[in-house]
Chain A
Amino acid sequence: MTVRRTTLGGHTYEFPSLVELLAKATPARSGDVLAGCAAGSAAERVAAQTVLADLPLATFLDEQVVGYDEDDVTRLIVDTHDAAAFAPVASLTVGEFRDRLLAWAADGDEPAISALAPGLTPEMVAAVSKLMRNADLIAVGRRARVVTRLRSTLGLPGRLASRLQPNHPTDDPLGVTASVVDGLLQGSGDAVIGINPATDSPAQTVALLELLDAVITRYGIPTQSCVLAHVTTTLRALEQGAPVDLVFQSVAGTQEANRGFGVTLDLLAEARAGALELGRGTVGRNVTYFETGQGSALSAGAHLGVGGRPVDQQTLECRAYAVARHFEPLLVNTVVGFIGPEYLYDGKQVIRAGLEDHFCGKLLGLPMGVDVCYTNHAEVDADDTDTLTVLLAAAGCSFVIAVPGSDDVMLHYQSLSFSDVLTARQVLGLRPAPEFEEWLARMDLLDDDGRVRALAPDAPAAKALLAAAQP
């Protein structure tokens, strides 16, 4: 193990391992303090960033953060690395890589940035993000183009999609439908109509899948549905012939954390094959959906790397993206303020993490969205989520999550509202996914400027959709 050191202001700082160097270079957040790996002072953080900036990018191919032999996520990263895609940046240090990305971004060179993805490892991307300010994360993130398709096309320039999340405390069909209708009337749901089920039973999952499929079919909506049950439950639903558009699973950045989620790479591959076989796409074949979030490995006690040292939560988050990208997802989102203040304490930390996760996911080739959210015991409020939403929309975020009135009455946290999505689109001149936008126009839900109109309840579009929610 190489000890790396630098002297700044007459003080010598030593970093005995790559794990510690990455952790101490990470912008401050409560989860790294809880894990005991955060920088001890602001100066030590900059010292770590200084050392990191001079580190050759290729170091990450030879020196692992989590051991190859004991972790299948590491093996996936190393074994699937594409040396040809890496070649354009292979000779750079982490600091030079940052400079190169910023230059490409300023030139609008999307192909140069986007082509790197298979050549980049999560640790490289995490490392460069630690040297970036929020503005850097936005400027480069919006030039990393990732387009995915199933029944709508996501990630195109000038578009911001949303997941309509119609959760209900008891999965009541009418209650779920009411939230679906409310969202559709406000132009939400182009990324997916995705329910977190209240229980993980196969019967309930099948019932919800059939309910959503019926609404989508009845109105001819060019979008996909998802019931965010455990992958094993979705496998059961597939066996029963349920209309599964997307296979969902929460994933994390270590084998141990994924085991805590009850998933293996083989299980994910099997479920994806099942959904592909159904062939439910109309414009593409991306059939998986993953959720991640900084702190998930730590909360499972599965955050240790080489030498038993705690790995910082942002590097672990990037490693989760390596799992996701292996399965060619339609959608990936980080849930950025859900897990609690012991991981991301306040608005500043949540905003930073949201921008990091979007940037890192996109650079690794993922169709990255964000659940911009908060719990009531975090130092975060709707002003903070407004700020992050507009920044993410500027950064070219593929999609955000929206619930009725920001209030998820099943999961008991606050995400964005449907109107928040409309505001972000309006402020930045963004539009829904093209197929969905055409559907909105066909339903007479758009005004002459292409904006979602405020409907009187007796308008034909409103009457048509309200009919779905009649008892």
Chain B
Amino acid sequence: MTAVGNDPWAVLRAATRARVALGRAGDGLPTARELEFRLAHAAARDAVHMPFEPDVVRAALGDLDVLEVRSAAADRAEYLQRPDLGRRPAEGTSLPRTGDDLAVVLADGLSPRAVHEHGAGLATALLDLLDGWSVAPVVLAHQARVGLGDAIGAALGVRAVVVLIGERPGLSSADSLGAYLTWDPRPGRVDSERNCVSNVRPPHGLGYEQAARTIAALLAGARALGASGVALKDEGTALPPG
């Protein structure tokens, strides 16, 4: 690396995270820059296609009760092409009707890696803040989209569901977790009826405690309002950037 003072190209690099001033080999990229790009893409691809390992998450959750569900998407290829199937439970799915206040769903989404690395950390940080809420067993969901939480929440009979789900990996963020809160979950809910906290991935993104406090505040707001989504945002609950 060259110090800013010695390298005129460093002016560009200092100004943006974009991949500027890479240099060229002929009309192509120099080998080292090409390999950096490939590694970033490979990490994102691996994060998408890594098999979801519920045992990893169970172990990290300690002695919390856990349920498992699968969506109607049979495999990763079908999951990627049929988002509608990822929002429906597999044929024959049955969940106990607990009638609790809240269910927390840990869903693989587009980055099982994000759930492996941050799912239990965020879930336990959140549950620690929820005095006065009865909480159903944590649900681990395979080949799941955010909307699967609606069916899960309805089956459990809970008043609210929080889905912690692996977000679509970017080149510089393969392990980002998102949290989606839906009040009165049932199939047919639309995205404008949810609130979202995204980019949970310490140390680069949001930390567990900070994200958990925001989600807990949103839950309290949703309970007071009897609704989530745009209406809740309009009440002035601040969402973190990202």
Chain A residues at the B interface, C-beta cutoff of 8 Å: 30, 33-34, 166-169, 172, 174-179, 181-182, 186, 341-342, 345, 375-378, 381-382, 403-407, 409, 412, 414, 417, 419, 422-423, 425-426, 451, 454, 457-458, 462-463, 466, 469-471
Contacts and interface: CB of A to CB of B under 8 A. Distances in A.
Nearest to B170: A412
A402 to B, nearest CB: 12
B16 interface: yes
Given A341-B81, A422-B27, A182 B20 contact: yes
30 contacts: A33-B82, A34-B82, A169-B17, A172-B15, A174-B16, A177-B15, A178-B13, A178-B15, A179-B18, A181-B12, A186-B24, A342-B83, A376-B41, A376-B169, A377-B110, A377-B169, A381-B41, A404-B18, A404-B20, A405-B37, A409-B17, A414-B41, A419-B28, A419-B29, A422-B27, A425-B27, A426-B27, A454-B23, A466-B11, A470-B11
B15 A377 contact: no
A33 B28 CA distance: 38
B19 A376 contact: no
Contact of B20 (A179, A381, A425): A179
Contacts of A412: 168, 170-171
Given A34-B81, A376-B170, A381-B41, A407 B19 contact: yes
Nearest to B241: A170
B12 A376 contact: no
A182 B83 contact: no
Nearest to A471: B15
Nearest to B80: A341
B74 interface: no
Interface in B28-64: 28-29, 33, 37-38, 40-41, 44-45, 47-48
B204 to A, nearest CB: 14
A376 B80 CA distance: 11
Nearest to A411: B170
B175 to A, nearest CB: 13
Given A377-B80, A382-B41, 19 more contacts: A33-B81, A34-B81, A175-B16, A176-B16, A178-B20, A182-B20, A342-B83, A376-B48, A376-B168, A376-B169, A377-B110, A405-B22, A407-B40, A409-B17, A412-B170, A419-B29, A463-B8, A466-B9, A466-B11
Contacts of A423: 27-28
Interface in B131-176: 168-172
B239 interface: no
Q: What class of interface size applies to chain B in its complex with A?
A: 35 or more
Residue of A178, A376, A466 ringed by the most chain B CB atoms within 10 A: A376
Contacts of B19: 404-407, 417
B18 A377 contact: no
B91 interface: no
Interface of B: 7-9, 11-24, 27-29, 33, 37-38, 40-41, 44-45, 47-48, 80-84, 110, 168-172
Contacts of B110: 377
Contacts of A341: 80-81
A405 B171 CA distance: 11
A419 B27 contact: yes
B8 A179 contact: no
Contacts of B45: 376
B207 to A, nearest CB: 20
Contacts of B40: 407
A412 B171 CA distance: 7
A466 B170 CA distance: 29
Nearest to A170: B241
A219 to B, nearest CB: 16
Contacts of A177: 15
Given A34-B82, A342-B80, A178 B29 contact: no
A457 B170 contact: no
Nearest to B47: A376
A440 to B, nearest CB: 15
A265 B110 CA distance: 37
A395 to B, nearest CB: 20
